[in-house]
Structure 1
Amino acid sequence: MDIQLTIKNVTPEAYDDLKEFLSKHAERVTLDTEWTPERAERYYRQLPDRARKIVREAAIRDGYVSADDLRDTEDSSLRGHSAALKQVLERGERKGWWPPEMPAPIEPQGKGFGKVDGYRMPDDLVGVFFTAIKKVSDPMAAANIATGQE
């Protein structure tokens, strides 16, 4: 038995009921929490410019971008840049673009409490997001990547 579900516009109560039902069959149920190029593109398109820069630079730099590389000037603060990363992830959950268990595609690195040293994207997501970013930035180049004609 293979159970595949696509959930859109689900209420929190209905989702809780569904999780309870599925927990009875947990050994046969897997949630699709994989970042696909389509999901990555939708996520990236929803981000404001400052947050897009974080994702773009991390993808370009093989998964890690330092805070210094993100600053426009030596003294500029990165405060507020990453809030949108979480907000778009949550919005996607609410709108049914991906399941609530979807992992964040990029995480702040550092001591916490406001100041970050940089941002890390998991290695397996770098290519997925690079392709999505390329498609958003240059649709013709993305078509060439898809057909292997870089």
Structure 2
Amino acid sequence: MEIIIKGANEEFAEKLVALAAQHHADLSISTVRPGWTVDRAERYLRDLTAGSRKMAEMVIGDGNGFIDADGIRSVLGKLNGPSNGLKRAVDRGIRKGWWPEGTPAPITPVSDPKNPSWHQTIAYRMDQELVPVFREAITRIATSKQAAESMGLTPGGAGKASA
């Protein structure tokens, strides 16, 4: 028997599994928890557009988990596209099964608390415990890119002999 529980809290899931066990169900239980691992972070970053990835890298690396929106605007210009790309990548990953439903967005906008009716974003943040996870993912991406280039491969993955 396979039971897939989505969108329920952990207590409910445990009760449901216990009920199935009372009825002598032969269960194979594996738990997939929402959250960010280095593998998930790497897949997320690779799925972003160039502008969204640059924005993420600025939050993660330059800002150590927090960066002023004006600083990002000075590099990328308008933030609508890149910030929407961050959100769409999370949704796409859930839809494609790359991470479970309920996985929170790793980077979130910060609104001005002094002016809550005006929704302009003043900064972007990442929880501090996620920063090292995403830094490791960035390192993996950079390392694989360097390895591909040293073998004469183009960034798109097509082989190209070096002369």
Q: 1:122 maps to which residue?
A: 127
Structure 1 residue runs of 4+, over 4 Å off?
A: 26-31
Provide the rounded CA distance (Å) in 2 between the counterparts of 1:110 and 1:86.
16
**Structure 1's 57 and 26: CA in aligned 2 closer, same or farther, altered over 3 A?**
farther
Report how many residues are paired: 128
**Structure 1's 140 and 89: CA in aligned 2 closer, same or farther, altered over 3 A?**
closer
Q: Secondary structure at the match of 1:117?
A: strand
- Asked which structure has the greater CA Rg, the reply is 2
5+ residue gaps, structure 2: 18-29, 147-163
Aligned mate of 2:144, from 118, 139, 148: 139
Q: 1:67 maps to which residue?
A: 69
Please, what TM-score do these two structures have when normalized by structure 1?
Answer: 0.70
**Is the 2:59–2:66 contact (alpha carbons within 8 Å) kept by the matching residues of 1?**
yes
Provide the rounded CA distance (Å) in 2 between the counterparts of 1:64 and 1:27.
40
Provide the rounded CA distance (Å) in 1 between the counterparts of 2:75 and 2:103.
34
For residue 31 of structure 1, report the CA deviation from its aligned partner. Answer: 4.7
**Is the 1:79–1:114 contact (alpha carbons within 8 Å) kept by the matching residues of 2?**
no
Larger RCO, structures 1/2 (Cα 8 Å, 6+ apart):
1
Deviation per residue, 1:89-124 (Å, 9 max, x gap):
011111111111101101001147652111000000
5+ residue gaps, structure 1: 8-13, 142-150
Paired amino acid for 2:46:
R
Q: 1:11 maps to which residue?
A: none
**Is the 1:37–1:131 contact (alpha carbons within 8 Å) kept by the matching residues of 2?**
yes
For residue 68 of structure 1, report the CA deviation from its aligned partner. Answer: 1.7
Identity within the alignment, %: 35
Provide the rounded CA distance (Å) in 2 between the counterparts of 1:71 and 1:133.
21
Provide the rounded CA distance (Å) in 2 between the counterparts of 1:130 and 1:48.
18
Provide the rounded CA distance (Å) in 2 between the counterparts of 1:129 and 1:73.
21
**Structure 1's 46 and 23: CA in aligned 2 closer, same or farther, altered over 3 A?**
same
For residue 53 of structure 1, report the CA deviation from its aligned partner. Answer: 1.5
Provide the rounded CA distance (Å) in 2 between the counterparts of 1:73 and 1:97.
30
For residue 48 of structure 1, report the CA deviation from its aligned partner. Answer: 0.5
